[in-house]
Amino acid sequence: MVALVILPTYQEAENIRHALTRVREVVPEAHVLVVDDGSPDGTADLAEQVGEELGQIHVLRRPAKAGLGPAYRAGFAWGIEHGHDVMVEMDADGQHDPATLPELISTLETAPADLVIGSRYVPGGAVPGWPANRRLLSQWGNRYIGLMLKLGIRDATAGFRAYRTTIIERIGLERVRADGYGFQIEMAYEVRKAGGRIVEIPITFRDRRLGVSKMSSNIVREALVMVTRWGVRDRVQRVRGRLNRARS
């Protein structure tokens, strides 16, 4: 399988060289796509320099910051156009350990699976250094997502994951609308609705050492509103379905 590792970036000049170098070391057969949202700190220029040195690194420049979802949709579309069998999502800020990439990709075949998620909340997963309140907020948020959407996974918000390109094509990129971190939840939700199999493997998730986090309360609020809307809609549809069957 030909894998494409997609790194969405905005203001990651401090991290991008190290991230790209480690990815190329760990999975030298893979290609890498940096999707940069017009970073004023020169992230895209640095990525192109590293690409010239190491090879198999491509840069997709976007005019302005538009959110995680649009960046990944653009990356997926690029990967489909260039014939990649596997699409990997990975942050460029050091929170995702590139050493996990081979297992993430190979599990698609060995499980087999359509989506493999690097999970913080399955046995063996960890979030060292997180204060208790942050860990509890994340865990309970994922429990709420599981309750509302019936996904059967523990870490629907995780951003370190690998997809078979075929499941992305089956879903259709035009169906996925979330802009922020709700994009991760929506993709897992759509994979499940499309009949895809989701597998979680444990990872250790670490806070970034350099740069500034893009997470905000608005991003969290967007995700929770979407999850509630989808969950209520699914329940209404199930009730209507039962009523229609009872009448027939």
Q: What is the pLDDT of residues 90-134, one digit of tens each?
A: 999 999 999 999 999 999 999 999 999 999 999 999 999 888 888
Q: Provide, rounded to the nearest whole percent, the portion of the chain with pLDDT above 90.
A: 73
Structure token digits, residue 224: 């929770």
Q: What is the pLDDT of residue 211?
A: 47
CATH topology of domain 3-247: Spore Coat Polysaccharide Biosynthesis Protein SpsA; Chain A (3.90.550)
Find how far residue 168's CA is from the centre of its chain: 12
Q: What is the pLDDT of residue 171?
A: 96
- Report the C-alpha gap between 224 and 202 in whole angstroms: 24
- Report the C-alpha gap between 38 and 11 in whole angstroms: 9
Q: Given the DSSP bridges, would you call strands 57-62 and 86-89 parallel, antiparallel or unpaired? A: unpaired
pLDDT exceeds cutoff 60 at 202: yes
Whole-structure pTM over 0.95, yes or no?
A: no
Beta carbons within 10 angstroms of residue 92's beta carbon: 26
For 122-126, 180-184, 217-221, 242-246, which range has the lowest pLDDT when averaged over its residues? Answer: 217-221
Q: What is the pLDDT of residue 242?
A: 79
Cβ 23 vs Cβ 5: under 8 Å? yes
Give the position of tokens 């940069």: 36
DSSP class of residue 11 equals: S
pLDDT exceeds cutoff 60 at 15: yes
Structure token digits, residue 71: 């960046």
Mean pLDDT over 61-80 rounds to: 95
Of residues 41 and 235, the one with the higher pLDDT is 41
Phi-psi region of 38 (alpha: psi -120 to 50; beta: other; left: phi over 0): left
Q: What is the pLDDT of residue 28?
A: 96
Q: Given the DSSP bridges, would you call strands 86-89 and 198-202 parallel, antiparallel or unpaired? A: unpaired
pLDDT exceeds cutoff 50 at 194: yes
Q: What is the pLDDT of residue 208?
A: 57
Of residues 138 and 19, the one with the higher pLDDT is 19
Residues 125-165 pLDDT 10s: 999 988 888 888 888 899 999 999 999 999 999 999 999 99
- Report the C-alpha gap between 22 and 43 in whole angstroms: 17
All residues at 6 or more sequence positions from 193 whose CB lies less than 8 Å from its CB, including other chains: none
Residues 207-224 pLDDT 10s: 755 545 544 556 667 788
Mean pLDDT over 47-58 rounds to: 97
DSSP class of residue 116 equals: E
Beta pairing partners, 164: 86
